[in-house]
Amino acid sequence: MKKVSVIIPVYNEQENISALARQIKLIRRSGHEVVVVDGGSNDLTAAIFLSCGIAVEQCPQKGRAAQMNYGASKASGELFWFVHADTVISLKCVLALSELVDTNLLWGRFQLKLSGQSLWFRIIESFMEWRSSLTSIITGDQALFVSKIMFEKIGGYRDQPLMEDIEISKQLKRISKPKIMPLEIISSSRRWQQKGVLRTIGLMWCLRLAYFLKVNPKSLAKWY
């Protein structure tokens, strides 16, 4: 059985901690590792985690890429699983990863399901699954996993404030095709709920097009 390190970048996530803390404790009891990396939250994120008995790594730099790289540097597992704070990290998924036979050059994702009952979310899920299967690009919502060996081989996430998931996928797929696990993960639909479905879809398409056209990720982060 392979040891899995679940790496969770957090920033001002005090509203999500109760459910997340329960998941973390279950995973740790099973013998696997969870590394929570805070990017300088100015709310009670770190304090609430500590009150639940969960240590938090303080990354000297804010930003998902920097936080995930920092978490990886502290992790001891053979397989890294990068998960957003508002994604359900079920023990079942961690155990499935730990049972994979050859993880040396392995990376991939699970099946995505968005929280919420709107038909829009079912359409978005389906499109994201289709796009990812076609392009081998895995976004943050899809919770990328990768072997420690492969992660270190490519030098981790590129230090940029946005589109780091696209960039690492482009590097990884040059080595091997991603593995798609037959289990679902549930990611939050709060981004679409807060900003509006059509507006968010339009924004993401514009950002991806701009990135394809070589617009600086620092400029894209201001739009995001």
Give 86-138 as a 3 state SS string.
Answer: CECCCHHHHHHHHCCCCCCCCEEEEEEEECCCCHHHHHHHHHHHHHHHHHCCC
In this structure, is residue 126 part of a structural domain? yes
> d(Cα 46, Cα 52) in Å, to the nearest integer?
10
Domain of 146, in residue numbers: 4-194
For residue range 75-106, what is the model confidence (pLDDT) as tens digits? 999 999 999 988 988 899 999 999 996 778 89
Q: Is position 210 within any domain?
A: no
- 206: in domain: no
CA distance 183 to 125: 14
Amino acid letter at 2? K
Rounded-to-integer distance, Cα 72 and Cα 147, Å: 11
Residue 213: per-residue pLDDT: 65
3-state SS record for 50-89:
HHCCCCCEECCCCCHHHHHHHHHHHCCCCEEEECCCCECC
Q: Which residue has the higher pLDDT, 74 or 220?
A: 74
Look up residue 51 and give its two tokens.
Answer: 């009150």
HSE on the CB side for 53, CA within 13 Å?
6
* Domain count for the chain: 1
Within-domain flag for 221: no
| C-alpha–C-alpha distance, residues 44 and 48, integer Å | 6
Amino acid, single-letter form, for residue 77: G
Secondary structure element (H or E) that encloses residue 37, with its range: strand 33-38
Whether 135 shows a pLDDT value over 70: the answer reads: yes
pLDDT of residue 203: 67
Instruction: Give the residue carrying structure tokens 């009150």.
Output: 51
**Tell me, what's the pLDDT at 222?**
63
CATH number of domain containing 119: 3.90.550.10
Query: Does residue 29 form part of some domain?
Result: yes
The answer to whether 84 and 7 have CB atoms below 8 angstroms apart is no
Structural domain includes residue 222: no
**Is 27 a domain residue?**
yes
As a whole number, mean pLDDT of residues 207-215 equals 69
Whole-number pLDDT of residue 224: 58
